Amino acid sequence: MVPALAGAALRIVPPTDDFPALLASFIPYALLGWVPAVLLLGAAAVRARRSGNLARVSLVSLTLVSVAGLLASIAWQAPAFVPNPRPVTTHTITIISLNVHQKADPTAVAKQATGADVATFVEASPSWVDTLPLSFREDFPYAVGAPLQSEPGSVIFSRYPITSSEALPTSSFQQWSATVETPQLGPLRVVAVHPCNPFCGRKLWSVEHTQLRAWLIAQDATPTVIAGDFNAVDDHGPMRALYGDGYDSAANLVGAGFIRTYPANRRIPPLLGIDHVLVNDRLTATEFDTFQVPYTDHLGVRAVIAGTTGTSAPPR
């Protein structure tokens, strides 16, 4: 019950300091504490029905608190499993995103990009970008991002022309935005993000998330996709703030459930869902899944998106 209560407290009062933010990454696992707490405390309360008032009242109270915590935890996690469909008003495009960890297998990455229209990579060094197969560069001839210049950071590749680009405020890993002229949706803003994680120290996790959100708030209503390694789960305050600003997770829109992407390529399965694809209210998602490539500690994410009410297909 104690760790489950801690998870609930971190959900109700989102942390901004590094260590509590790290602990808050495990909020979804509070269910693993609430379930046995309800069962065991409930059984103890039944057995104590002939005990003294203090023991009986204490156990009943703890059981009721555990039931309330269990119901709250279910309410927080259940929306991820329930599709929230929006009307589809355009043809679809596919976007993939991966933290390549500066050494993901470039051939495997290119294979996973087959069929995609836009690919965003974070933590990509210039030398890693240079290793991408020629076939990939031919399929995605348009690109922008820090790795194409001098420093590791985000990079955006597109099958369609990139008409403008912008570097986001300076962060631990440079983040980029590009406007892609798509035949399906018309102009599409693609933002490749990678705020620092709680291990960075100096409250950079909170600072860089705040900077990212401020930049997004300042943008216009162009159909927008934000993809990358957010270093935050859905229950973290920064993600909830973005959802409050009108962005939605592609995974949640299709009811994909408990998506976990980190750490990958280990003996244990991924534990945390920190890689996301978000869309604003001009877009919807029709499919979402993850994929694995060697030599990176993240799973990639793939989303199929389309325009929704207020977005119509451009003339052909």
Distance CA 66, CA 42 (A): 9
Domain final position from 26, 50, 81: 81
The answer to the question of residue 175 being in a domain is yes
Nearest CA among 168, 169, 170, 166 for reference residue 179: 166
**Threshold 0.85, pTM exceeds:** yes
Of the pLDDT bands very low, low, confident and very high (cuts 50, 70, 90), residue 150 is: confident
Whether 14 and 128 map to the same domain: the answer is no
Whether 203 and 226 map to the same domain: the answer is yes
Domain final position from 81, 113, 133: 81
- Residue 96 sits at the vertex; the CA angle it makes with 90 and 97, to the nearest 5 degrees, is 135
Whether 192 and 113 map to the same domain: the answer is yes
Whether 181 and 247 map to the same domain: the answer is yes
Domains identified in the chain, total number = 2
Whether 174 and 261 map to the same domain: the answer is yes
Burial class (CB in 10 A: 0-12, 13-18, 19+), 23: middle
Q: Does the pLDDT at position 313 exceed 70?
A: no
Whether 71 and 137 map to the same domain: the answer is no
Q: Tell me what pLDDT residue 113 has.
A: 97
Q: Does the pLDDT at position 9 exceed 80?
A: yes
Question: What does the pLDDT look like over 94-122, one tens digit per residue?
Answer: 999 999 999 999 999 999 999 999 999 99
| Stronger pLDDT, 243 or 49, i.e. the higher one | 243
Nearest CA among 306, 274, 279 for reference residue 290: 274
Question: What does the pLDDT look like over 30-41, one tens digit per residue?
Answer: 989 999 999 999
Residue 297 belongs to domain with CATH number: 3.60.10.10
The answer to the question of residue 315 being in a domain is no
Q: Please enumerate in sequence order all residues whose Cβ is within 8 A of that of 174, keeping only pairs 6 or more positions apart, or say none.
A: 145, 146, 151, 152, 153, 154, 167, 168
Mean pLDDT of 272-288: 97
Whether 75 and 145 map to the same domain: the answer is no
Question: What does the pLDDT look like over 157-216, one tens digit per residue?
Answer: 999 999 999 999 888 889 999 999 999 999 999 999 999 998 888 889 999 999 999 999
| Stronger pLDDT, 94 or 316, i.e. the higher one | 94
Domain final position from 55, 81, 107: 81
Whether 164 and 111 map to the same domain: the answer is yes
Whether 60 and 141 map to the same domain: the answer is no
Mean pLDDT of 147-158: 85
Mean pLDDT of 136-162: 90
| Stronger pLDDT, 50 or 307, i.e. the higher one | 307
The answer to the question of residue 207 being in a domain is yes
The answer to the question of residue 88 being in a domain is no
Cα distance from N-terminal residue to C-terminal residue, the chain = 59
Q: Tell me what pLDDT residue 208 has.
A: 95
Mean pLDDT for the chain overall:
93
- Write b or e for each residue in 219-238: b if 16 or more Cβ atoms lie within 10 A of its Cβ, otherwise e: eeeebbbbbbbbbbbbbbbb
| Stronger pLDDT, 316 or 180, i.e. the higher one | 180
Tell me which residue range forms the domain holding 16. 2-81
